[in-house]
Each structure stands twice: as structure tokens, then as C-alpha cells.
């Protein structure tokens, strides 16, 4: 994409969003109380939403007939993110529908998976926010800058609500923010909330899930205003599926990342692609970590360890670990302490080891079969349920506690243990994110590592496993009936 092409899109974006905002404003001033529908609980739809989106889509298609468009009211997964407009005709529809003048039009333009341009326009206040990657973040032509705050106790943070996550998750994050001493608010427009972080009106914005049309423009604004954000997807599928959102002044970024459980992108000014992130700094942590003690329903402790921890038989014995599940396809352990008698010279040493050992063998990233982590959940569960015969050839009959390891004890093992915790104890961990946050905390994973602990592809495998397990449970329940 040439500079001229970007500038053509830049000029068109400003023209289109201001016109759309003027149309939205006409609907707003002429609205009548109660004239709206609901797409779901607290999910408002007004006549203005569909009309404004139609106007925006028409203008884009006239100017750039080959570009793709992802709009809130006509959302379907785009074929690619090569040249993609992402449109929210009215963000803050609940405010709009109730006559509250805190809403906006929000448009982003994505080129080859990277958000290059973003604009947010509040037609009531006539505040136009614009951002271009690597160039500027502006409000009505004036540069924007996030605050220089470093003390969370002085911070004003907006916390958005998403029905995709449990009330407990929302309340836990709020409690964490209040514990930090931050002031917490909610304005009802995620896009304007992000613009306000870029402008310095507030110091941070958090929401457990946002659709791309609500946040891509605002995240670019925050980045270009010197703030830090979470990881932004760079594929058409990832953009369509949405993302957890963290946007924050740099001086309190780590504190808010830890409070929210949302990983920071390693460098707020680098490519938005998670795949493009450079390798993270490795922080020190124990060879093994106790993740859960006396896990409900199982009566055992769950540990996570790295290659050194799993190789230390004295450490395993100290923590009464009787079961080991190795998640790493690229790590093997020489467990044999009691070799079989009369072993031929050309054969590798084989015999009994100090623990009951199971190997799953995941790749740390892309390359795993879709069912593999789900199989790992059942392997872990089955290892705990397995009854060992009382025979001389079965030396390790005691179950004890369980250790799940990979090479670093920070990605593959995190994904498997979090999946197990969520599926086996949903009362304590109602979402997969809740379980991952718990494991990160107990494993002492630094927020700067969260973008790869676990790797995003492994998180997707865990989400896939949850869906498969629920589908199996539904079928089994149907058969019982």
C-alpha cells in the first residue's frame, strides 16, 4: 500500500466520519423516548444505527470499491484484512437511546492486518479524534498525549462491561482496581473511553471483551498518544472475534495489566501484531510452583514446572508428586532409576522411574491439531483416575500430587492446567480467563510476559477444548434423557 493510497484513505475517513456524525446528531435531537429495540440484554438498537451504517458503507464503497467492510449492524467475518474498514455507526447506543449526549461514530482502516488509521467523532461536542500509525494522535487538529501518572492511587480508570464474561470476573477486576486505590467509572461508550485515555482525561480503560468496531480506532489513538495497550489481532478472523482491551498511561501500565489479567503488548509503539512481537524478557521464577492446593473434588495439589523442576527427583519427592504430565514435544526426561535386567547392549535403557509419567507433547505455538489440548485435559483427568494394579511390574502405585511441565513452565503447561481448572471447578473459575489469571499469578508470570504465557494459539486451543467438552456433555445429557 503506497503513501498516496494511505493519504487517500485518510482524507476519505475524515469526510465520511464527520458526515456520519452529522446524520447521527439529526437522529439524536429528533429522537423520542423509548424508540429503540434490544438485540440482547442492555444491547440497544435504534433506527439511527442501521441508517448511519448504511450511509458509511455506501460512501466507502463509492470511494474504494475493492475494500472490505466490517460493520457492527451487518457483521460477518471478512475474507481478509488486506484493506478493511471497521465501522461502528453509533458507539454508546444505550446513551444515545436514552438521550445522553455521550456517543460517537467510530471508524478504523486496517491494511494487511495493521490498523493504519482511526477516527472517533462525537457530533454533540464536535470533538473529532484522529490517529495515523507512526504519525499522530489528534483532537480537532491538536496533538494528544496520555497522562504521565505513575501512582495508581491517583488514577481514574474506566471499566467497561461485557456480557461475554461473568459478573464475578467483572467484579474481581473492579475489586483489584479499588485495591490499587484507583477511581473507577463507566461512561457507556468504549470508543470515547479510549479517546479519553489518549487525551489524558482518564488514565486507563479496561474491558474484558470488545468488538473490533468499538476499539480498533481508539487503541491506535492511545498508542500514538504514548500509551500502552494489550495485544491487537492481525487476522480477519481475530479482528472479527474481538479481543480483551487494556489501554493505559505508560506509568501505570504494569499495575493495571496485573489488576485486569490482560497482557500488555511488549512495545506499545511497535507492530500491533502479536506474531510480530520480539521475544519477551524471561523473568526468574521457581523450578516448580504450587498452583492449587487440595484442588476441589480431587484432593491433590497441582504444580507447574519447567525442565529443571521436572528433572529434580528430590524436589518431586519433597512435594509428594506422584504424577507428571510433560506437555512439551521437544523435551524428554530420562526417568529410569531401576533398569530392566538383562538389557541387550543395542537397546536404550528402559525400566521403572520415580513417578507415573505421561507425555502429551504439544508444540509451543502453531502446529498442534485442534483436538490436542482437549486430549490433554482428558489425559490429565484420566491419569488422576487411573487405578494401578498391585503387581511387581507396576512400581508407582501411589498417586500423590500432580506436576504439569513444559520446557519453561510458562505456556503449554499454563494452558493445560488452566483448562483443567476451568472445566473441573467452574464455580471457582467460571471462565477460562479466570483460570489463566490464577495460574499466571501463582506461577509468578510477569505482565510483560502475558502476551505469550500462554501463546495465543494455545489459548485458542483451550477455548476450542471448552466448546468441545460442552458439546460432548450436551450430547451425553440428551442420551440420558
Comparing CA positions, the residue from 43, 260, 257, 247 lying closest to residue 169 is: 260
Tell me the backbone φ, ψ of residue 321, rounded to 5 degrees: -90, 120
Answer whether residue 144 is part of any domain: no
Q: What is the model's pLDDT at position 187?
A: 94
Q: What is the model's pLDDT at position 267?
A: 55
The residue from 108, 134, 160 where one domain ends is: 134
Same domain, 176 and 225: yes
Distance, CA of 418 to CA of 463 (rounded, Å): 11
Quote the number of domains for the chain: 3
Same domain, 23 and 107: yes
Q: What is the model's pLDDT at position 181?
A: 94
CB 128, CB 18: distance < 8 Å = yes
Same domain, 52 and 161: no
Residue 112's contacts (CB-CB under 8 Å, 6 or more residues apart) are 1, 81, 82, 83
Residue 88 marked ligand-binding? yes
Q: What is the model's pLDDT at position 311?
A: 93
Same domain, 309 and 437: yes
Answer whether residue 145 is part of any domain: no
pLDDT by residue, tens only, the chain of 481 residues: 555 589 999 999 999 999 999 999 999 988 776 666 555 444 445 678 889 999 999 999 999 999 999 987 665 666 667 889 999 999 998 899 888 999 999 999 999 888 999 999 999 999 999 999 999 999 999 999 999 999 999 999 999 987 766 777 788 889 999 999 999 999 999 999 999 999 999 999 999 888 889 999 999 999 999 999 998 877 777 777 788 899 999 999 999 988 888 888 865 433 333 333 444 456 788 999 999 999 999 999 999 999 999 999 999 999 999 999 999 999 998 887 777 776 677 777 777 788 999 999 999 988 899 899 999 999 999 999 999 999 888 888 888 999 999 999 999 999 999 999 999 999 999 999 899 999 999 999 987 788 789 988 899 899 999 999 999 988 887 766 6
Residue 267 marked ligand-binding? no
Q: What is the model's pLDDT at position 282?
A: 61
DSSP state of 262: P
Distance, CA of 467 to CA of 431 (rounded, Å): 12
Same domain, 169 and 129: no
Distance, CA of 133 to CA of 316 (rounded, Å): 50
The number of beta carbons lying within 10 Å of the beta carbon of residue 288 is 24
Distance, CA of 432 to CA of 459 (rounded, Å): 9
Residue-number span of the structural domain to which 121 is assigned: 6-134
Q: What is the model's pLDDT at position 342?
A: 62
Residue 35 marked ligand-binding? no
Answer whether residue 346 is part of any domain: no
Answer whether residue 64 is part of any domain: yes
Answer whether residue 50 is part of any domain: yes
Distance of CA 4 to the CA centre of its chain: 34
Distance, CA of 330 to CA of 325 (rounded, Å): 14
CB 279, CB 194: distance < 8 Å = no
Taking the model in full, what pTM does it have?
0.62
Same domain, 87 and 159: no
Residue 72 marked ligand-binding? yes
Same domain, 129 and 161: no
Residue 47 marked ligand-binding? no
Residue range 430-464, pLDDT digits in tens? 999 899 999 999 999 987 788 789 988 899 899 99
Same domain, 129 and 61: yes
Distance, CA of 109 to CA of 428 (rounded, Å): 40
Q: What is the model's pLDDT at position 275?
A: 37
Same domain, 370 and 239: no
Q: What is the model's pLDDT at position 234?
A: 73
Same domain, 319 and 441: yes
For residue 295, what is the domain's CATH number? 3.90.190.10
Distance, CA of 28 to CA of 123 (rounded, Å): 10
Same domain, 31 and 109: yes
Tell me the backbone φ, ψ of residue 221, rounded to 5 degrees: -55, -50
Q: What is the model's pLDDT at position 243?
A: 85
CB 436, CB 414: distance < 8 Å = yes
Phi-psi region of 318 (alpha: psi -120 to 50; beta: other; left: phi over 0): alpha
What size, in residues, is the chain?
481
For residue 71, what is the domain's CATH number? 3.30.540.10
| 3-state SS assignment for residue 201 | coil
Tell me the backbone φ, ψ of residue 286, rounded to 5 degrees: -65, 160
Query: Where do runs of H (alpha helix) occur along 134-229?
Result: 167-180, 190-199, 212-224
CB neighbour class for 217 (10 Å; exposed up to 12, middle 13-18, buried from 19): buried
For residue 239, what is the domain's CATH number? 3.40.190.80
Please list the residues that pair with 71 across neighbouring strands.
Answer: 87
Distance of CA 162 to the CA centre of its chain: 13
CB 428, CB 257: distance < 8 Å = no
Answer whether residue 243 is part of any domain: yes
| 3-state SS assignment for residue 7 | helix
Same domain, 107 and 169: no
Tell me the backbone φ, ψ of residue 80, rounded to 5 degrees: -160, 170
Answer whether residue 281 is part of any domain: no
Answer whether residue 140 is part of any domain: no
Amino acid at each position: 500500500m503506497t503513501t498516496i493510497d494511505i493519504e487517500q484513505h485518510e482524507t476519505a475517513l475524515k469526510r465520511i466520519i464527520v458526515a456520519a456524525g452529522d446524520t447521527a446528531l439529526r437522529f439524536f435531537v429528533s429522537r423520542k423516548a423509548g424508540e429503540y429495540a434490544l438485540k440482547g440484554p442492555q444491547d440497544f438498537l435504534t433506527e439511527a444505527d442501521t441508517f448511519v451504517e448504511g450511509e458509511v458503507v455506501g460512501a466507502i464503497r463509492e470511494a474504494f470499491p475493492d475494500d472490505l467492510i466490517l460493520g457492527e449492524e451487518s457483521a460477518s467475518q471478512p475474507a481478509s484484512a488486506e484493506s478493511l474498514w471497521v465501522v461502528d455507526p453509533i458507539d454508546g447506543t444505550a446513551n444515545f437511546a436514552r438521550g445522553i449526549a455521550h456517543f460517537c461514530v467510530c471508524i478504523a482502516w486496517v491494511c494487511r492486518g495493521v490498523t493504519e488509521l482511526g477516527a472517533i467523532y462525537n457530533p454533540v461536542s464536535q470533538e473529532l479524534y484522529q490517529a495515523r500509525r507512526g504519525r499522530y494522535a489528534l483532537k480537532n487538529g491538536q496533538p494528544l498525549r496520555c497522562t504521565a501518572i505513575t501512582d495508581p492511587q491517583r488514577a481514574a480508570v474506566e471499566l467497561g462491561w461485557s456480557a461475554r464474561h461473568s459478573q464475578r470476573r467483572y467484579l474481581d477486576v473492579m475489586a483489584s482496581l479499588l485495591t490499587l486505590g484507583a477511581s473507577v467509572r463507566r461512561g457507556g461508550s468504549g470508543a470515547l473511553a479510549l479517546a479519553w485515555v489518549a487525551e489524558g482525561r482518564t488514565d486507563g480503560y479496561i474491558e474484558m471483551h470488545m468488538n473490533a468496531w468499538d476499539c480498533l480506532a481508539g487503541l491506535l489513538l492511545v498508542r500514538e498518544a504514548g500509551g500502552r495497550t494489550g495485544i491487537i489481532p492481525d487476522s480477519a478472523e481475530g479482528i472479527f472475534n474481538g479481543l480483551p482491551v487494556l489501554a493505559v498511561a505508560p506509568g501505570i501500565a504494569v499495575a493495571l495489566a496485573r489488576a485486569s489479567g490482560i497482557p500488555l503488548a511488549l512495545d506499545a509503539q511497535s507492530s500491533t501484531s502479536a506474531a510480530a512481537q520480539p521475544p519477551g524478557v524471561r523473568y526468574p521464577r521457581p523450578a516448580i510452583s504450587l498452583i492449587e492446593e487440595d484442588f476441589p473434588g480431587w484432593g491433590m495439589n497441582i504444580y507447574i514446572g519447567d525442565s529443571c523442576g521436572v528433572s529434580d527427583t528430590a524436589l518431586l519427592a519433597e512435594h509428594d508428586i506422584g504424577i507428571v504430565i510433560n506437555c512439551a514435544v521437544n523435551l524428554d526426561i530420562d526417568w529410569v532409576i531401576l533398569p530392566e535386567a538383562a538389557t541387550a547392549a543395542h537397546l536404550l535403557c528402559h525400566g521403572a522411574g520415580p513417578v507415573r509419567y505421561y507425555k502429551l507433547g504439544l508444540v509451543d505455538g502453531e502446529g498442534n491439531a485442534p483436538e490436542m489440548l482437549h486430549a490433554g485435559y482428558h489425559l490429565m483427568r484420566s491419569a488422576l483416575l487411573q487405578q494401578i494394579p498391585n503387581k511387581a511390574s507396576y512400581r508407582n502405585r501411589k498417586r500423590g500430587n500432580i506436576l504439569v511441565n513444559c520446557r519453561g513452565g510458562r505456556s503449554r503447561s499454563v494452558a493445560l492446567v488452566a483448562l483443567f481448572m476451568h472445566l473441573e471447578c467452574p464455580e471457582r473459575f467460571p471462565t477460562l480467563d479466570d483460570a489463566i489469571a490464577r495460574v499466571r499469578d501463582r506461577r509468578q508470570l510477569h505482565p510483560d510476559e502475558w502476551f505469550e504465557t500462554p501463546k495465543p494459539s494455545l489459548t485458542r486451543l483451550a477455548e476450542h477444548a471448552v466448546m468441545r467438552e460442552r458439546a460432548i456433555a450436551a450430547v451425553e445429557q440428551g442420551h440420558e434423557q
